[in-house]
Amino acid sequence: MENVTFQVKGMSCGHCVKAVERGLGQLEGVEKVTVQLDAGTVEVAYKGDQVTIDQMKAAIDDQGYDVVE
């Protein structure tokens, strides 16, 4: 199991949290998603042999939020 933390812009409410959790949760290999709304971070526990960082970034982007590089 691997972990990554993304800095995400645009999240402001509970709906945002649910959208990001849902988008990432649909990816095979994502085991756990923890959104810290106040900090603007998204922590993901995942299986590196099943999902890539780029796929996770795209899933966040698809929900309408920006991953800060």
| pLDDT one-digit tens code per residue, 19-46 | 999 999 999 999 999 999 999 999 999 9
Q: Say which CATH class 2-68 falls into.
A: alpha beta
Domain range summary for the chain, segments of one domain joined by +:
2-68
pLDDT attached to residue 36: 95
Q: Which own/partner contact pairs does 14-19 have at CB distance under 8 Å and 24+ positions apart?
A: 16/65, 19/63, 19/64, 19/65
What's the CA gap between 30 and 38, in Å, rounded?
23
| pTM confidence score | 0.92
Instruction: Let me know if 9 is exposed, middle or buried by CB neighbors in 10 A (0-12, 13-18, 19+).
Output: exposed
What's the CA gap between 41 and 49, in Å, rounded?
23
